[in-house]
Chains A and B, each alone.
Chain A
Amino acid sequence: MKELFVLAEHRQGELRDVTFEMLTKGREISQKINADLTAVLLGHDVKEFAKTLAEQAKKVLIIDDVRLENFNAETYQKVLSYLISERQPSLTLIGHTAFGVDLAPSLATELKMPLATDCIDLDFEGERLVVIRQVYGGKVNVKAMLRKSESYIVTLRPATFEAQEVKAAGGQMIEVASPLSEDITYKRFIEYVQPPAGEVDITAADVIVAIGRGIKDADNMPVIEKLAKALGGVLACSRPIVDKDWLPTDRQVGTSGKTVKPKLYIAVGISGAFQHISGMKNADLIIAVNKDGKAPIFRVADYGVVEDLFKVVPVLTERILEEKSS
C-alpha cells in the first residue's frame, strides 16, 4: 500500500494548526492516489499527540526520543530521511513554517527527491505532482510541475487549508525505534525566548489601524496615530515596520507576530503579503487603503480605497472627529 506522510508539527506541548490543515489536504490526496494517510510524529513523551493524530490518520508513526523533544532540523532530518527511505511514501507533507523551512530543503537534497515549498495547493496529474505557489509577494500565482519521482516532498503554506473535523479514524499507532545513534553536537537547541510584552495588547483591541511599508517614514506615523486615536483604536503594523524598528514587535500582525480579530481593521499602506493576511483576515470589518489597486490586501478587505494614504487618512480622521463631536 502506498503511503502519504504528514509530518506532525508540535511546539511547547501543543500540536500546531498546520498539522490538521495538512491532514485534511493529505486525506484528500491520499484518497485520490489510493494511499494510506500516515501521520509522522517525532518527539518525546507524545502519547497524547499520537491519540489525537490517530483520530485523523490511518497510521501514526511514532518515534520517541528525548533528542526529538524540541525541534532541531538536523535531528529531524536524520530521523525523517530514515523513515522516508524505509517506507518510500509517495508524498511527504511538511508545514511551510519556521520548522519546515529549516528542514525540508536539506532533507530533499539528502534524499534526492524533488521538493516544492510554500504551496497553496497540490494535486497529482497522473504520476506527476503539480503544485500552486504564490510568487512576487502574492501578486502572482504559479502552477508548477515537479520533476518525475517516486516520492515527493512538499511544504504547505499554513492557514491555507481549512482543517476539517473528522470522525475517529481509529488509526494504527506504530512505534518505530529511534534511528538516532549518537547525540548531534554540531547543532544544539538551547531554549525558546519570548519577546517581552509591551504596554499594548493588540489582540484585545476592538479597533486596529495597521500601517505598512506605504507610510514610507517613521515621521509619518503621527498622521495614522491620529486616525487610530479618533477611532479609539490601537496602532499595529505589518512586518517591514517592525524590521525598521518603528514599532515594537508586539504590534506586528501576521504569522511571525500576533493574530487579531478586531471589530474593525484598517490597513493603511499594507500590500498584504500572506504572512500579514493570515494574522488579520478574520477581522469583522476590513478597510484597506493602498495606492496599488491590485495589492493582495484588497482580496481580504471589505472596503478598499485606492489612493495615496497621506491624502485619505487626514480627511477621514477629520470626518470621524466631526461625526463624534456632532
Chain B
Amino acid sequence: MNFELNEEQKDIKKAVREFCEKEFTPEIGLEFDKKEEHPTDLYRKAAELGFTSLRFPEEYGGQGYGMFEECLVTEEMCRADPGLGVAVMSGTFASDIIMEHGTEEQKKKYITPLCSGKFISAGAFTEPAHGSDIARMDTTGVKSSGGWVINGSKTFITNAPVADFFLVLCQTDPKAEPSYRGQSIIAVDKGTDGIDVTKLHDKMGIRPAITGEVGFSDVEAPEENLVGGLNRGFYQVMGFFDVSRVPIAAQAVGIAQGAFERAFNYAKEREQFGRPIIQFQGVSFKLAEMAMRIEAARGLTYKAAWLIDQGKTDAMMTSMAKAFASRMAVEVTDWAIQVHGGYGYMGDYHVERFHRCAKITEIYEGTSEIQKLTIMRYLMKRM
C-alpha cells in the first residue's frame, strides 16, 4: 500500500495547477458561465500541453498515462473552475470506445487529431425518451448499399455544437430480444448531410460544457464507420461507463475542493461580531466536516482509478466513487455558500457556480440511483 503520489504525478499535478492559475481564473470561469460558450481555445491550449490525452497511447499522440493521472488533472481543473474544467476534460468524451474497440484506421482518423486538440468528440447516446435507460434506442441504423443510414434524435449531447464527430448509439437490429443486443455504435462526421444540431440553453451548471440536441435524418455513414462489433454497441457503452464514471467522481472531488478552499479563505477573512467567522464553531465544524468528506471521496475515487490502471476495473467501486463523490460535492458546495452567507448567493463570489456545477455529477453518466442499482447488483453477487 502506498498513499503517496509519485514524483511524476506530483509534477503533473503542479503542471495543471500552474496552467489553471493563469488560464482558469475565476473571472474567466464566470464569463464563460454567463455566455454559455465553449472554451474552445482553452481546450486546444490544454490539449497541446497533453492534459486532455492522458490515457491515449503515445503512438497516437497521447500521453500513455492511466486513469489515476486523468483523475488528478480533472480534479485540479475542476478545483480551479468546474465549468471550464468539465468542458476542457470532456473534449475527447466517449472516444475511449474507439480506442478500445475501433479499427486502426479509425484510431488514426479520430484519436490522433483528438490528442492534438484539433478534434472534439461527442457521444450521442441519450435520447429524449430514454435517459439512463439506454437498453432500447429509437435511433436506427439501417444497412444500405453504401454503408449505414441513420435516423433519430439524441439529446443532452455534450459538445454537440462543436463536435467534429459523433459516436451514435443506434438500433441496428430492431428485432433483437432483448433490444440492447441489437445496438451498434456508428461514427458520424460533422457536416454530413442530414445532421441537425441545436444548442441547449439555460443549463443549471457546467454551462461552458455546451450541450445540444442532435437530429439525424437519413444521415449516411460509410460501412467502415461502424465502431467495434455489429450489435455490440450497448456493451461497449456500458464498458465505457465503467471507467468514465471515475473521472466524474474526480470532477466532484475537484469542485468540492475548490468551493471548500474559497469558503475556508473567506471564513478566515470575514469578520462578524468582532472576529473572523472561522473562530465560530458553527462555521469551523462545518469546514472540518467538508474537508473530511472531500478526503473520503478522494480516497474512493483514487481507489477506483487505481483499480482501472491495474486492469482490475471494478464497476461497483466505480459506482461507489461516483455516487459518493457527487453527493458529497453537492453538500460541500452548498455549505460553502452557507459559509459565505449572502455573498455566497452572488455570482461574483463564485461558490454558487460551484454548487450549480456540482449537481450534474449526480446526474450524468448514470444518476446516483443507477449507481446504487449497480452497487447492489454486485453486492448481491459478492456477498
Q: Do A's and B's CB atoms come within 8 Å in the complex?
A: yes
Binding site for B on A (CB under 8 A): 216-217, 219-220, 310-311
A288 to B118, CA, bound (A): 44
Comparing B25-33, B132-140, B327-335, the segment that makes contact with chain A is: B25-33
| Contact (Cβ within 8 A) A217 B348 | no
A216 to B28, CA, bound (A): 11
Please name 9 pairs of A and B residues whose Cβ atoms are closer than 8 Å in the assembled complex, sorted by A. Answer: A216-B22, A216-B27, A217-B25, A217-B27, A219-B27, A219-B28, A220-B27, A310-B27, A310-B348
A112 to B94, CA, bound (A): 67
- Chain B interface, >50% SS class: helix
List residues of chain B with CB within 8 A of the CB of A219: 25, 27-28, 31
List residues of chain B with CB within 8 A of the CB of A310: 27, 348
List residues of chain A with CB within 8 A of the CB of B31: 219
Q: Which of A217, A220, A310, A311 has the most CB of B within 10 A?
A: A217
Besides A216-B27, A217-B27, 14 other A-B contacts (C-beta < 8 A): A216-B22, A216-B25, A217-B22, A217-B25, A217-B28, A219-B25, A219-B27, A219-B28, A219-B31, A220-B25, A220-B27, A310-B27, A310-B348, A311-B348
Give the size of the chain B interface in residues (CB under 8 angstroms): 6
Chain B residue with the shortest CB-CB distance to A306: B269
A-B pair number, CB within 8 angstroms: 16
List residues of chain A with CB within 8 A of the CB of B25: 216-217, 219-220
List residues of chain A with CB within 8 A of the CB of B28: 217, 219
Chain B residue with the shortest CB-CB distance to A308: B269
List residues of chain B with CB within 8 A of the CB of A220: 25, 27
A71 to B29, CA, bound (A): 49
A219 to B22, CA, bound (A): 11
Chain B residue with the shortest CB-CB distance to A223: B27
Please encode chain B, from 242 to 279, with 1 for each CB lying within 8 Å of some chain A CB and 0 for all others: 00000000000000000000000000000000000000
Please encode chain B, from 340 to 362, with 1 for each CB lying within 8 Å of some chain A CB and 0 for all others: 00000000100000000000000
Which residues of chain B from 1 to 48 have a CB within 8 Å of any chain A CB?
22, 25, 27-28, 31
Chain B residue with the shortest CB-CB distance to A222: B27
Q: Which of B22, B27, B348 has the most CB of A within 10 A?
A: B27
Pick the 10 closest A-B CB pairs, nearest first. A217-B25, A216-B25, A220-B27, A219-B28, A219-B27, A217-B28, A217-B27, A310-B27, A217-B22, A220-B25
Chain A residue with the shortest CB-CB distance to B349: A311
List residues of chain A with CB within 8 A of the CB of B348: 310-311
| A97 → chain B closest CB, angstroms | 32
A217 to B24, CA, bound (A): 9
List residues of chain B with CB within 8 A of the CB of A216: 22, 25, 27
A216 to B27, CA, bound (A): 10
| A325 → chain B closest CB, angstroms | 24
A310 to B25, CA, bound (A): 12
A126 to B227, CA, bound (A): 86
| A30 → chain B closest CB, angstroms | 50
Chain B residue with the shortest CB-CB distance to A311: B348
A319 to B92, CA, bound (A): 46
| B252 → chain A closest CB, angstroms | 26
| A78 → chain B closest CB, angstroms | 44
| B228 → chain A closest CB, angstroms | 43
A219 to B27, CA, bound (A): 8
A49 to B257, CA, bound (A): 64
Chain A residue with the shortest CB-CB distance to B348: A310
A311 to B22, CA, bound (A): 19
Chain A residue with the shortest CB-CB distance to B21: A216
| A291 → chain B closest CB, angstroms | 9
A216 to B30, CA, bound (A): 15
A142 to B31, CA, bound (A): 44
